[in-house]
Amino acid sequence: MSEPRRPYEGSRRKLVLAFDIGTTYSGVSYTVLDPKNVPEIKGVTRFPAHEQITGASKIPTIIYYDASGKVCAVGAEAMREGIFEQAEDEGWLKTEWFKLHIRPKTEASKQIATQIPPLPLNKTVIDVMADFLAYLFECAATFIQDTHANGRDLWDSVKNEIDFVLSHPNGWEGFQQTQMREAIVKARLIPDTNKGHARVSFVTEGEASLHFSIENGLPPKALEKGEGIAIVDAGGGTIDISAYSRYSGGSGEPTTFKEVAPPQCHFHGSVFVSIHARMFLEKYLAESDFIDDLDHIVRCFDKTTKIRFSNASQVQYVKFGSTRDNDPSCNVRFGQLKLSGEDVGSFFESSVQCVINAVKEQKKMSHKPISHIVLVGGFAASDWLFNKVEEGLRAEGVTVIRPENHVNKAVSDGAISFYLDHHVTTRVSKFTYGQFRTTFYDHTDAEHRKRSQRSYRCASGETLVPDFFAIILPKNTQVQEGKEFRQGFGLRSEQKSDIQKVTSTVWAYRGAKATPKWKDDEPSKFTKLCTVEMDLSHIPLVPRSKLNGATGTYYYLGYDLILFFSSVELRAQISWEENGIEKRSPAKIVYDPDITAD
């Protein structure tokens, strides 16, 4: 159902690389844009030591460092025969699941802090991600030069102006994007300049998965009668859920998609099946000599039993040793650990319930009815997950679909399609966004009287109450691209210099109220999203007489903060009036690391 892609209209050849750094596996897709030619989406399918992994379109997200912090092995090379012994002999440190260290440290993700492996000593998550990005880039460069006609000439013609698309979970926000941009700079893929930064764009995994599904043919019935469709990207670390509806373009305009429910992100990907398996086996093997082989047994479970598990009524086996390895007390015979299907099924239970509950929530919040979901991502290959989700949603009247081809490449291919096709024109706000501001004290308002001890007289002589939450964008609002949201502010001061350079904080309300009003009602439900820095020194100010009997003068500066939420990245502007004409200038958005501190 994808419409024909138009030829590239640029005047010079260009290369676009999309990196999908997953919790467990990562991939690269790309397109070469040649003037007047229709772009094609291609994947990097050859990596060093790729024979170590099943299918070469993705590699394990693993790095080995030596004691000095030098990279020793990456990706499939970190899975080759004998690597564990070599790492132990030479004191290498294995780093995996590092993507989860970037996550927003909200209430929903706090419980996983103790479940993910720590970063190597003296390495930040930006350092590790930069090393991995540099490796993926090197692999892509080699593949393109080796597989394209005149590959070296092609590479030389595009290598200095490559555009990059980085995908990330639905739940990641501005600070996480800032960290990823820092990593791509540290990897020396772009210069640390505004022009360099402009070569990087971001897309959520949910939106990338939609683009992949469009590219690979959404079932016609899934979008009949203007209904919505939910895309469930079940990956290694997160399960991302997004819902969209199709809108046919008129008068030759292309078909577009609108998001119809707030996107969701849950930490219940496939690694948490392994975590539950480890927790079970720690108890199960506690009295056995094989407890010392726990790491190896869990690795074997990951490679075989977890992938092929499909029936809870059948006994499951984890082959981890030789025929001499036996312990009848814990069902180890001939190097195989015997587990009941019910126990193995329990390892998946939280992930299964997560998908079912999330889809139900999407249906409830959606602006359109949803009767189909598309399950993509590496974890979607699990027959057990697919069958249990299908079973759990049958009563809801929901049909579950899995694309037939390359579901594990959905994000990287979809990220290139996002860059080329830009199908989504409307997105839905995940939270209620706003700012804390002062409001004029009203003695007839009970809420004001309750806070009268905190009221104060400002420079103009007026009485104000602080910490009123002024909503800029309510939750579950459909936001069309280019639509702006503004909030007016007035600054009062006796000194001009106090209101010439201003910072304004944008907050996200994560509670259940439709219209939260005061910070002290639910202080833990508000989290800082970002700070907007504004230089207002160029706005003309004239002194005014103070009010309410106060003597002297003060300065007043009125301005609007304008926010654009519709793109994947937040943008801000400020506006003011001069002689009745609106003027605007960009505002700088700063993300504070403390926003997401544990």
3-state secondary structure 256-281: EEEECCCCEEECCCHHHHHHHHHHHH
Two tokens at 551?
């003597």
Q: Is residue 1 part of a domain?
A: no
Two tokens at 469?
């939450």
Same domain, 99 and 192: yes
Segment 556-580 mean pLDDT: 82
Q: Of 203, 237, 266, which one is at a domain's C-terminal end?
A: 203
% of residues, the chain, pLDDT over 90: 59
Q: Is residue 212 part of a domain?
A: no
Separation of alpha carbons 348 and 44, rounded Å: 31
Give the highest mean pLDDT range of 49-53, 106-110, 373-377, 556-560: 373-377
Q: Is residue 209 part of a domain?
A: no
Separation of alpha carbons 139 and 133, rounded Å: 10
Two tokens at 595?
């926003």
Q: Which of 3-17, 150-164, 172-186, 561-575 has the lowest mean pLDDT?
A: 561-575
Same domain, 274 and 150: no
Q: What is the dihedral of CA 445, 447, 452, 454, to 10 degrees?
A: -140
Segment 150-156 mean pLDDT: 92
Same domain, 178 and 244: no
Name residue, tokens 């092995």. 73
- Give the pLDDT band of residue 316 (cuts 50, 70, 90): very high
Instruction: Assess contact for 569 and 177: CB atoms under 8 A.
Output: yes
Same domain, 144 and 266: no
Q: What integer pLDDT is reported at residue 579 of this predicted model?
A: 80
Q: Which domain holds residue 509?
A: 432-596
Q: Is residue 225 part of a domain?
A: yes
Q: Of 203, 238, 253, which one is at a domain's C-terminal end?
A: 203
Q: Is residue 182 part of a domain?
A: yes
Q: What is the dihedral of CA 340, 342, 347, 352, to 10 degrees?
A: 150
Same domain, 469 and 592: yes
**For 297-307, how does the pLDDT look when each residue is reduced to its tens digit (9 = 90+)?**
999 999 899 99
CATH code of residue 146: 3.30.420
Same domain, 379 and 472: no
Helices (H), 194-269: 194-197, 205-215
Instruction: Assess contact for 130 and 183: CB atoms under 8 A.
Output: yes
% of residues, the chain, pLDDT over 70: 93
Q: What integer pLDDT is reported at residue 594 of this predicted model?
A: 45
Same domain, 224 and 139: no
Q: Is residue 418 part of a domain?
A: no
- Output the furthest CA–CA distance in the chain (Å, rounded): 95
In this predicted structure, the answer to whether residue 406 has a pLDDT above a threshold of 80 is no
Separation of alpha carbons 504 and 564, rounded Å: 15
- Give the pLDDT band of residue 481 (cuts 50, 70, 90): confident
In this predicted structure, the answer to whether residue 147 has a pLDDT above a threshold of 80 is yes
Q: What integer pLDDT is reported at residue 567 of this predicted model?
A: 64
Same domain, 265 and 373: yes
Q: Average model confidence (pLDDT) for the chain?
A: 89
Q: What integer pLDDT is reported at residue 323 of this predicted model?
A: 86
Segment 510-535 mean pLDDT: 90
Which of 234, 235, 254, 255 has its CA nearest to residue 245?
255
- Give the pLDDT band of residue 64 (cuts 50, 70, 90): very high
Q: What integer pLDDT is reported at residue 250 of this predicted model?
A: 60
Q: Is residue 521 part of a domain?
A: yes
In this predicted structure, the answer to whether residue 491 has a pLDDT above a threshold of 60 is yes
In this predicted structure, the answer to whether residue 598 has a pLDDT above a threshold of 60 is no
CATH code of residue 561: 2.60.34
CATH code of residue 392: 3.30.420.40
Segment 257-286 mean pLDDT: 93
For 75-117, what is the HEC assignment? HHHHHCCCHHHHHHHHCCEEEECHHHHHCCCCHHHHHHCCCCC
Q: Which of 14-18, 236-240, 345-349, 401-405 has the lowest mean pLDDT?
A: 401-405
Q: Sign of the C-alpha dihedral, residues 434, 437, 441, 446? A: positive
Q: Is residue 123 part of a domain?
A: yes
Same domain, 192 and 90: yes
Q: What integer pLDDT is reported at residue 449 of this predicted model?
A: 94
Same domain, 393 and 532: no
Q: Of 402, 424, 452, which one is at a domain's C-terminal end?
A: 402
Instruction: Assess contact for 414 and 462: CB atoms under 8 A.
Output: no
In this predicted structure, the answer to whether residue 169 has a pLDDT above a threshold of 70 is yes
Q: What integer pLDDT is reported at residue 548 of this predicted model?
A: 86
In this predicted structure, the answer to whether residue 110 has a pLDDT above a threshold of 80 is no
Same domain, 180 and 240: no
Same domain, 385 and 473: no
| Domains identified in the chain, total number | 3
Instruction: Assess contact for 309 and 316: CB atoms under 8 A.
Output: yes
What residues are paired with 440 via a beta bridge?
Answer: 464
482 or 309, higher pLDDT: 309
Which of 103, 123, 121, 122 has its CA nearest to residue 113?
103
